[in-house]
Amino acid sequence: MPQCPHCQVPYEAGQRYCSTCGSFLLHPEQGDTFCSQCDVRVSNRQEFCHECDAPLKGDPAALAAEAETPLAQAQAPSPASAPKAGMPSWLTGVLVGAAILVIILLILLFTRGTSTPPAPALAPKAEAPAPAPPAATLAPTKPATPAPEPAKPAEATLQEQLQKELAILREAQLRKDIVLFMSVYSLTYPELDNKRASTLKAWEGFDFTNLVFTIDKIQSIDPDNAIARVTWYMDTKNRRTQDLLSSTQTFQVRFAKELGKWRIRSLEEAEQ
């Protein structure tokens, strides 16, 4: 049997996703792509990782593993500058001081023989009191500038809001959680009770081995209504025969905002 290129677990021929690690198994000639968050091999048609629900931005294709950039090499320390040639500064200072001392001695010897008796000392004049310094004037204080308010996070785009609700619907399908599943549908969805009953009956016959979706052609009708095309890629296993089946379904979905959250108001199958 062939083995998963990511975790080397054997899988059955025709299986699209590895049942152990969730790696995409078909078309390896198109190159391996991996989720940048959990490093799981993903499909080139996914917008969200089916393991950690991280968004796969780009074309709606899975992100390729980003190559790590090498660390910048530390610059070599610059060589110490060579000492200047010539006489050291301390020696120059000593020579200059000695020359000044010699000049002072010569002057003293010259003036000793020709000096006259000193004149009587005059009484020192009374010094006028120094004027008091002018009083310091205080500079007007400026009012404190209020600190800027922290920037508020940007509101999520319409596509991101719709993708969040579809991710909840995907999780409910994989866990077969009917309460979570129905929370994504509007209370005004046509035949809401039939939708609940048909979903529970379908879950009795098969299990999802993998489930991913893409969303495109998003059109905002007004602040509370939008239309988009949603395509689901499903890998299922028949609970009675254990047969594996891969299928794709595309729907034209109408969303309506209820109590601040987007809900599925109606849907109809569309061409892929």
Phi/psi of residue 97, each to 5°? -65, -40
Predicted confidence at residue 27, as pLDDT, reads 54
Q: Residue 254: is its pLDDT beyond 90? A: yes
170, 213 in Cβ contact below 8 A?
yes
Cβ-proximal residues to 252 (8 Å cutoff; 6+ apart), any chain: 227, 229, 267, 268, 269, 270
Assign residue 119 a region (left: φ > 0; alpha: ψ between -120 and 50; beta: otherwise). beta
CA distance 212 to 235: 9
H-only helix segments in the chain: 89-113, 158-175, 178-182, 192-205
User: 244, 164, 151, 177: which is closest to 206 by C-alpha?
Assistant: 244
Phi/psi of residue 223, each to 5°? -55, -20
- Residue with the bigger pLDDT between 214 and 143: it is 214
In CATH terms, 159-269 corresponds, of 1.10.10.10, 3.10.450.50, 3.40.225.10, 3.20.20.10, to 3.10.450.50
For the CA atoms of 193, 198, 203, 209, the dihedral, rounded to the nearest 10 degrees, stands at -100
Identify the three-state secondary structure at position 38: coil
Predicted confidence at residue 72, as pLDDT, reads 38
CA distance 225 to 223: 6
Length of the chain: 272
Min mean pLDDT across 29-43, 97-111, 133-147, 252-266 is at: 133-147
CA distance 252 to 267: 6
Predicted confidence at residue 82, as pLDDT, reads 41
Determine the average pLDDT of the residues in 226-255. 94
Give the domain ranges of the chain. 1-65, 159-269
Residue pLDDT, tens place only, 19-45: 887 777 765 544 567 788 887 777 766
Predicted confidence at residue 154, as pLDDT, reads 52
Contacts 24+ apart (CB under 8 A), 105-110: none
Predicted confidence at residue 30, as pLDDT, reads 46
**CA distances for 242 relative to 9, 170, 174, 239, angstroms:** 18, 22, 17, 5
Question: What secondary structure does DSSP assign to 109-124, as a single string?
Answer: HHHHHTPPPPPPPPPP
